[in-house]
């Protein structure tokens, strides 16, 4: 059709190649052919038609979730939005970016070679997602001044990181071979998400990264070669803040002036500054080479829900941090703390019993009920008495969680020297917790032995059926199910349900099933619009908004007969089929998203839940 301007083929169950039959002077400006996300829905296959990519008026092209193959490009000169994510493209990216391009998403393919040409000059580009491909080479030194989202994670890029523009909100370059120092941030950055894990980055933390100028929500730098003192990084940031008239969030607490080098590598010295973010929800610095102690000021990060400092070279006592965390417990959202595999020493701080992830009163009736609570202290050099009060608090938290979540307290390690208690009295629930945890302690000769064995308690369960207690050195017996039944009154043992009770159970079960079915139908109707939101007939009358509106991109050409997709659908389409797994990073771009500290913090846990076994 030589007059066709918009073509909607989304979720039509069509298969086979797209026809290579777009007229040379076609006025076609929009093509949406987004396939179902289900694996059994193959969708369109074969190469992207050359006549489509040369269509002079094409501005909006979305072919996500199909089985298209071959190379990508060159692109139409007027193209503004491209989404070919979650296909099977396995060739190279050819040609330069069109000057009008605003959204470029080719994630989850097998593309090879390097980045498209003309990236620094793409003045209108807001989003570029090339994650999960086979791309390599160096990243450009400069990024477009309008870029808000850049994700090149899980590729083979090398070299150094580019300078960060003030507009950039999301930087994802994880799982590459990038080296060199972390880039400094501009004076007024917009950066909220930084994922640079599993590279070869070196040096310390730039003061501009931690002085509070950036509204960071998630900072993941694990699996690099970063070094320096965490206290020293805060001191350098404080000195830089003082030299610039002060930062909004960092409080100067003394220390020497870092001079002109303050915005380079953080010093190795300690003290002098404080970590003070009011937005940070996730901080992962694990598997690096950081030294010094765990900064006490980290205990005051009220919005932080996930802190992982494991597998570094941290030393000294954990007590200052634990005391700060305890004093801030009523405000803290911390659910995951991992300081394992360092060189922390001294006694296990008793104040950790007040840590928020071990507070039973905060575990019931919360939206975070399904999120595991983790306190990992293992693999250090702690000494002193075994922290029985801490274990008891962990068991109480686990009991409060019931089946809704789990509480993990890890204390073991080959260099741990926690002395076995002289006396250990436990309930049946505490015994089950100890049997699952399998703690060890140090006996009088310095040998590590089982905590339960040292207390003459059974190391495995033996058909428990009720509460009991034991004192070390005395026999420990558990009433069996048969003994418990024998103690019941005979009429209780022989009691049968009356016919009326049976009828009530049956009727109640049917009613419950009907309610569940009604809820399922309601949920289906509520989510149907999201699933088919990119079909033109379903878009009519729908609300506008979402990621594209947040970036000033409607996703549709001016004058289109279709309204923009709902926010969730817009974010999903801009992100490809796997947007649901990564879409949390765009939730903040949705004007309707609730910016509560709790929801900010939960984003961090959800984003890393697939990587950490304990979360």
Neighbours of 260 (CB within 10 A): 9
SS (H, E, C) 110-136: CCEECCCECCCCCCCCCEEECCCCEEE
Query: Rounded to the nearest 5 degrees, what angle is found at the Cα of 269, between the Cα atoms of 266 and 270?
Result: 105
Specify the pTM.
Answer: 0.75
Range in 21-25, 285-289, 291-295 the model is least confident about: 21-25
Q: How confident is the model at residue 538 (pLDDT cuts 50, 70, 90)?
A: very low
Residues 6+ apart with CB under 8 A from 538: 529, 532
Share of the chain above pLDDT 70, in %: 67
* Mean pLDDT on 105-123: 95
DSSP-based three-state secondary structure for 151: strand
Q: How confident is the model at residue 370 (pLDDT cuts 50, 70, 90)?
A: low
Is the pLDDT higher at 585 or at 399?
A: 399
Burial 427-451 (b: 16+ CB within 10 A, else e): bbebbbbbbebebbbbeeeeebeeb
Q: How confident is the model at residue 466 (pLDDT cuts 50, 70, 90)?
A: very low
Cα 302 from Cα 367, distance rounded (Å): 18
* Mean pLDDT on 29-38: 88
User: What is the per-residue pLDDT for 237?
Assistant: 67
């Amino acid at each position: 059709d030589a007059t066709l301007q918009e073509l909607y083929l989304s979720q039509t169950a069509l298969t086979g190649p797209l026809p290579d039959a777009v007229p040379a002077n076609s006025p076609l400006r929009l093509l949406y052919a987004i396939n179902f996300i289900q694996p059994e829905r193959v969708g369109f296959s074969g190469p992207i038609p050359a006549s489509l990519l040369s269509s002079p008026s094409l501005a909006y092209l979305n072919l996500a979730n199909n089985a298209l193959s071959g190379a990508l490009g060159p692109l139409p000169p007027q193209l503004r939005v491209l989404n070919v994510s979650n296909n099977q493209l396995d060739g190279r990216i050819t040609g330069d970016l069109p000057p009008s391009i605003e959204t470029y998403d080719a994630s989850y393919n097998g593309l090879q070679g390097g980045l498209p040409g003309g990236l620094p000059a793409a003045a209108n580009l807001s989003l570029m997602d090339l994650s999960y491909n086979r791309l390599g080479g160096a990243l450009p030194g400069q990024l477009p001044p309008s870029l808000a989202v850049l994700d090149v994670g899980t590729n083979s890029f090398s070299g150094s990181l580019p300078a960060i523009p003030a507009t950039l909100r999301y930087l994802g370059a994880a799982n590459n071979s990038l080296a060199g120092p972390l880039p400094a941030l501009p004076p007024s950055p917009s950066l909220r998400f930084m994922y640079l894990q599993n590279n070869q980055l070196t040096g310390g933390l730039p003061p501009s990264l931690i002085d509070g100028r950036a509204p960071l929500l998630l900072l993941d730098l694990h699996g690099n070669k970063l070094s320096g003192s965490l206290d020293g990084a805060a001191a350098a940031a404080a000195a830089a803040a003082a030299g610039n008239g002060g930062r909004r969030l960092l409080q100067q607490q003394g220390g020497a002036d870092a001079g002109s080098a303050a915005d380079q590598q953080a010093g190795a010295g300690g003290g002098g500054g404080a970590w003070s973010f009011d937005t940070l929800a996730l901080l992962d610095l694990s598997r690096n080479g950081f030294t010094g102690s765990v900064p006490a000021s980290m205990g005051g990060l009220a919005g932080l829900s996930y802190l992982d400092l494991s597998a570094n070279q941290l030393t000294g006592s954990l007590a200052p941090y634990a005391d700060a965390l305890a004093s801030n417990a009523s405000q803290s959202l911390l659910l995951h703390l991992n300081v394992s595999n360092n060189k922390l020493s001294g006694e296990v701080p008793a104040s950790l019993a007040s840590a928020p992830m071990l507070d039973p009163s905060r575990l019931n009736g919360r939206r975070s009920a399904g999120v595991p609570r983790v306190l990992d202290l293992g693999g250090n050099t702690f000494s002193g008495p075994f922290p029985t009060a801490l274990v008891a608090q962990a068991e109480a938290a686990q009991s409060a969680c019931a089946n809704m979540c789990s509480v993990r307290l890890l204390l073991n390690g080959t260099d741990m020297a926690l002395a076995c208690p002289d006396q250990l009295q436990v309930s049946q629930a505490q015994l089950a917790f100890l049997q699952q945890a399998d703690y060890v302690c140090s006996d009088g000769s310095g040998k590590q032995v089982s905590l339960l064995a040292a207390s003459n308690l059974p190391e495995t369960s033996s058909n428990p059926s009720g509460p009991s207690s034991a004192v070390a050195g005395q026999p420990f017996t558990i009433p069996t199910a048969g003994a418990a039944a024998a103690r019941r009154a005979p009429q209780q043992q022989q009691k049968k349900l009356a016919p009326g009770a049976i009828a009530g159970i049956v009727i109640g079960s049917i009613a419950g099933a009907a309610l569940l079915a009604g809820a399922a139908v309601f949920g289906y109707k509520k989510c149907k619009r999201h699933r088919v939101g990119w079909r033109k007939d379903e878009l009519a009358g729908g609300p506008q908004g979402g990621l594209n509106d947040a970036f000033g991109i409607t996703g549709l050409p001016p004058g289109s007969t279709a309204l923009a997709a709902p926010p969730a659908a817009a974010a999903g389409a801009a992100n490809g089929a796997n947007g649901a797994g990564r879409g949390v990073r765009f939730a903040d771009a949705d004007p309707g998203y609730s910016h509560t500290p709790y929801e900010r913090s939960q984003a961090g846990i959800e984003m890393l839940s697939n990587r950490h076994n304990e979360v």
